[in-house]
Amino acid sequence: MNRRLGFSSLAFYEKSLESALSWGESNDFGLLEIVAENNHAIDEEALPEIKDLTSSYNFDYTVHSPFSDINISSLNKSIRKESIRQVKYSIFAVNEIGGKILTFHPGRHSAATSKSRENTKQILFESLKEISDYNKDYGVTIALENMPDTFITTMKVSKEVLEVLENKELSEIKHTMDVGHLETNNVDIGEYIYDLRNYLIHMHLHDNFGEFDNHLPLGDGNINFPRIFRALKEINYTGRIILEMTKTEDILKSREYLEEKKYLF
């Protein structure tokens, strides 16, 4: 069992978290990223039960903070405050279940702020500073994820991501690289990996054809995985890799792809 390679509970979005754990155990996985949404939401009411459940399995855990209706870059102060609160609670929850890493999204432009991107950027920095300061009491590794190409998304290319991560006030924030998101932005993923080498600690793997964020199994799209894994080897990447598909058969197909290509090191 390779405990650096795991899968996302996204494939069990309409099912229970226990079904994801049971399936993972049966298929020789030891790492699960819990997408804290829908049936896997981790809130004050659900946390005690989730702690009992996760402790009953021999898994390592990462958590993906809620992202639906969440926007830490929102111009609306009330929405931004609640969004930050939910990311903070996710940090607390990761610590409670003995997880190591929290992935979260940088927020997005609204119809108004898309015309004032510097304003959105400043709001994002303030939100990240608050989240980072909160995490000092918990020591969870918090990792900001890059976003796919849409007119409202931020943090899409290395320049934008580095502008955040290189800020000395945000030195505790690391990076989750989503290769499918990068492909929609038509970037050289090998160069991106080199640019982010000092911050990269977590990855989401899935495939697409560059136009939509389809979450296809590896090898079914256009993403240049040989280039990606050469670059990862060159920077001596030792972080976690999450297969982020929406179907269990696609998770297994993707693991087989990695094993056949001997990409797991």
The pLDDT value recorded for residue 3 is 82
Percentage of residues of the chain with pLDDT beyond 70: 97
Mean pLDDT of 249-257: 98
Confidence class of residue 39 from pLDDT cuts 50, 70 and 90? very high
**pLDDT 10s digits, 75-113:** 899 999 999 999 999 999 999 999 999 999 998 877 665
pTM of the model: 0.95
- Reported as a pLDDT band with limits 50, 70 and 90, residue 153 is confident
Model confidence pLDDT, tens digit, residues 162-175: 999 999 999 999 99
Query: What's the per-residue H, E or C state across 157-222?
Result: CHHHHHHHHCCHHHCCEEEEEEHHHHHHCCCCHHHHHHHCCCCEEEEEECECCCCCCCCECCCCCC
Question: What single-letter DSSP state applies at residue 239?
Answer: S
